[in-house]
Structure 1
Amino acid sequence: MRKHKNLVSCIIMMAFMISIMLPVAPAYAFSISDLVGQTTGTTDAGGTKSLSTDKGFLNILLGLLLGNLLGKSDSVPAGGSTKGNSGSGLTSSKDLVGFYAEWWGEDTSSYNSMVKNADVIKTIAPFWATMQADGSVTDRGGNDHASVVKTAHQNNMTVLLLVNNAKQDTGTTPVHTVLADPVLRTRAIDNFEKYIKKYNLDGVNVDFEMVPAEDKDNLTAFMRELYARLKPQGYIVSIDVFPKQDETNDVAAAYDYAELAKYADKIMIMTYDNHGTWSGAGPIADINWVERNLKYALKAIPKNKLYLGIAAYGYDWSAQGVQSLEYKAIMDLAQRYGKTVQWDDASQSPYFSYTATDGTAHTIWFENSQSLNQKLALINQYDIAGAAMWKLGEEDPSAWNVLRKQFNK
């Protein structure tokens, strides 16, 4: 036994002496399980991740020796190193989720943005399905789903099916009909599972909006049942929630942050549309409003599960109504009418006003790389899991310079 201990000590001492003679490399938090891991491992995206080439051979050698002689550390959970901030002191890189939508058959803006920025985007959530009042799931159409999924997986991205709820026409809200009925909840979950398996997806992103406040417990029950079905099979379960700063916000009352956090791997707080079609002109995402919502969410949602919603678009307000515009269209308007983009220090947001040829006054507020940079600072300040951008293809192209610094894979 003493000889065995002496052998272990010698090996560790030799490894230490070799390591200090090698060139200095950046320091990263790691655990014993990191050292005993394989040269590639499964990521959340279902792809692979490579070990750093710095001291790579030494790390593998150390891993084999320590793994065989010392065994795994009791402090490391089964299945590998801990991700996020779970109390172990370990950290993982931030995750950028790109919401993906095709508004017509030949709309490839999201696809083009995904491919061009594959080194930054870790997850996409394609808006392909809608849950109906009878628990069925209808396909929204668009481009070849299988090809999108294949391309995303080839670029080591997770693909989560974004499912929204059918909107109310008359009478009872469809989402209430499903959530309040255990039989319909099961039917909907069955259909979610079928869709995910049909297209070889990695999980689901539940985007139920304008859920009646009375369905708070029903929504939690749905997510609990969905999680129990999909999680044991290795699928990711995520949900988008409305932002709030207290529990009096009617449109956000159905989202029980603390309970939903038990049944979701990722929670995207939709911190945009601070102003929109229901209000007068103003910032899309006032930085102060965003931070207050973030701080409130963190009271109930673990930071390693929380994603900050960021916008890639803007709104044009006029007496004729409110129109949503992508960044390129906004810049085209500024150029056409010879307007310089202004900057609002209070909200950390860009805007400008113009008068159309018909004499109608317009005001545009939007998001660009500069305003986006302010939101990313909050992600670092509060050390949350990442960001979720609506949507790929609408953004300021220069925003990727900012995103690349934060999320480069």
Structure 2
Amino acid sequence: MIKYKNYVSWFVMMAFMITIMLPVTPAYAFSVSDLFQATDLNSSKAENDMSTGKGILDVFLGLLLGKLLGSTGNTLTQAGITDNSGSDGQSSKEFVGFYAEWWGTDTASFDSMINNANVIKTIAPFWATLQADGTVTDRGGNDHATVVSTAQQKNMTVLLLINNAKQDGAVPPVHTVLSSPALRTKAIDNFEAYIKKYNLDGINVDFEMVPAEDRDNLTAFMKELSERLKPQGYIVSIDVFPKQNEDNDVAAAYDYAALAKYADKIMIMTYDNHGVWSGPGPIADIRWVENNLKYALRFIPKNKLYLGIAAYGYDWSAQGTQSLDFKSITDLSKRYGQAVQWDDMSKSPYFSYTAADGVAHTVWFENSESIKFKLSLITKYDIAGAAMWKLGEEDPKVWSVLRDTFHK
């Protein structure tokens, strides 16, 4: 017994000396108690161990192993034990980049996707339009297969963004499809075929200006689409107009609560607070954005809700309203020597200028600073993420801001 105690004393002393000499290492996601599966110190067994000296020995062993294992943290992480304490871990928030090609050689979205692959988790290419007869027309653009394979190689999900044909007669094409069960089925058949043709990961339904009378029809369509695609592992998402009540005619067709039953992701288009239909003003007044977000959260689970963010601006004049990307806007500001102003109430940048023809113009837009305030709402309300229209039109500085929230 005395010999046993001598061995224990010797071992404890050696462990203590080694522990002191080893350098301090940072804490990791696991603990010594996890490694030992330590028992409750209030249990009778634990009390007995402590009284015999075994508990003390375990403490020193724990300290010793903690020092030694601290230097192997990377190995343990590779083995499946992840350190989530630092900012280098993947964000739980998702950044979706809407992707569009306005002409055959337009690579703005592609270039932005490639350059910011460490932020973008999903792209939604605007490649298809639903027609009144349930067929789907391809909008053209660059090689779809190459875009998809490149994105997926960079660990991005790719969702087909499909919009509805615009009204050119008495009856909106989208009403014709949504109000007919047969045409809804035909449309879904064509959606599925398109997704499979290009090896896509799912779909993003962007039906806009849907008549209020089609509220239930739109919900039925999303239900049928979900029942077709989800069992096959595809993602089903939808873009919805923002609103703060159900009296908003242009947004009445979106039954938020019902759509949330069938959509995996819902992107609320919180931009175009002012646009071609209005006078000059903020693209996305922060107060307006937050109020729309708060209303949506009454019906849509936060883990399905994505905040829409604009990357562009509008130039208003007596000659009309023009949509511009960030580069074009900054070029205008420099050309006419007009410094960008800041509206603190709406958290938005703007400036005015008089063109060479004497026409007065006012420009409101979004930049990295205004988007920073939008991102704070994602954190404040703990929603799923953000969706930006569109890749390639943004302020280049916005990516350092986005990276803080959406690092992959």
Matched, 1:240 2:261: no
Residue of structure 1 equivalent to 2:77? 56
The answer on whether the counterparts of 2:91 and 2:405 sit within 8 Å (CA) in structure 1 is no
* Contact 2:91–2:407 (CA under 8 A) maintained in structure 1: no
Q: Does residue 224 of structure 2 align to residue 225 of structure 1?
A: yes
After superposition, what is the alpha-carbon deviation per residue over 1:116-153, rounded to whole angstroms, capped at 9, x for unaligned?
00000000000000000000000000000000000000
Matches within 5 A, 1:158-307: 158-307=157-306
Deviation, structure 1 residue 321: 0.4
AA at the equivalent of 2:356? T
Give how far 1:53 is off: 4.1
Q: Determine helix, strand or coil for the equivalent of 1:365.
A: strand
Matched residues in 2 for 1:58 and 1:396: separation? Answer: 39
Partner of 2:27: none
Question: 1:336–1:215: structure 2 CA closer, same or farther, 3 Å change rule?
Answer: same
How many correspondences in the alignment?
346
Kindly state the Cα deviation for residue 314 of structure 1 after the two structures are TM-superposed.
Answer: 0.1
Q: Is the 8 A contact 2:91 2:406 kept in 1?
A: no
CA deviation map 1:138-174 (0-9, x unaligned): 0000000000000000000000000000001012100
Shift in Å at residue 55 of structure 1? 3.0
User: 1:373 aligns to what?
Assistant: 372
Q: Which amino acid aligns with 1:121?
A: I
Specify the alignment match of 2:96 in structure 1.
Answer: 97
Residue identity matched to 2:37: I
2:37 aligned counterpart, secondary structure: helix
For residues 327 and 91 of structure 2, the distance between their equivalents in structure 1, rounded to whole angstroms, comes to 34
SS in 1 for 2:345: coil
Distance 2:66 2:253 in 1: 56
Q: What is the TM-score of this pair, normalised by structure 2? A: 0.82
Over 3 Å counting, the alpha-carbon distance change for 1:355 and 1:203 in structure 2 is: same
- Give the AA of the match of 1:56: T
1:81-92 matches, cutoff 5 A = none
Distance in 2, matches of 1:259 and 1:308, equals 19
Aligned-pair CA distance for 1:12: 2.5
**Unaligned 5+ runs, structure 2:** 1-33, 39-57, 83-89
Give the secondary-structure state (helix, strand or coil) at the position aligned to 1:196.
helix
Q: Distance in 1 between matches of 2:172 and 2:290?
A: 32
* CA RMSD, 1 decimal: 2.1
| Shift, 1:345, TM fit | 0.3
CA distance in 1, matches of 2:217, 2:268: 19
Describe the shift of the 1:325–1:10 C-alpha distance in structure 2 as closer, same or farther (beyond 3 A): closer
Q: In structure 1, what is the Cα distance between the partners aligned to 2:95 and 2:386?
A: 5
Q: CA deviation at 1:56?
A: 1.8
- Provide the TM-score with structure 1 as the length reference: 0.81
Distance (whole Å) between structure 2 residues aligned to residue 290 and residue 19 of structure 1: 52
Q: After TM superposition, give the deviation of residue 384 of structure 1 in Å.
A: 0.2
In the TM superposition, residue 260 of structure 1 has moved relative to its aligned partner by 0.1
2:312 equivalent in structure 1: 313
Task: Work out the percentage of aligned pairs sharing the same amino acid.
Answer: 74
- Deviation string 1:55-76 (CA, Å, 9 cap, x unpaired) is 325646x9xxxxxxxxxxxxxx
Change in 2 beyond 3 A, CA 1:307/1:319: same
- Structure 1 residues 289, 54: CA separation in 2 closer, same or farther (over 3 Å shift)? farther
Question: Cα 1:243–1:54, aligned 2, differ >3 Å: closer, same or farther?
Answer: farther
Shift of 1:24: 9.7
1:23, distance to aligned residue in structure 2 (A): 3.5
Partner of 1:40: none
Structure with more of its chain in helix, by fraction: 2
The unaligned stretches of length 5 or more in structure 1 are: 1-8, 26-51, 63-90
Larger Rg: 2
Q: Secondary structure at the match of 1:55?
A: helix
Which residue does the alignment assign to 1:38?
none
Alpha-carbon contact 2:175-2:211 (below 8 Å) kept: yes
Specify the alignment match of 1:12 in structure 2.
37
Aligned letter for 2:378?
A: I
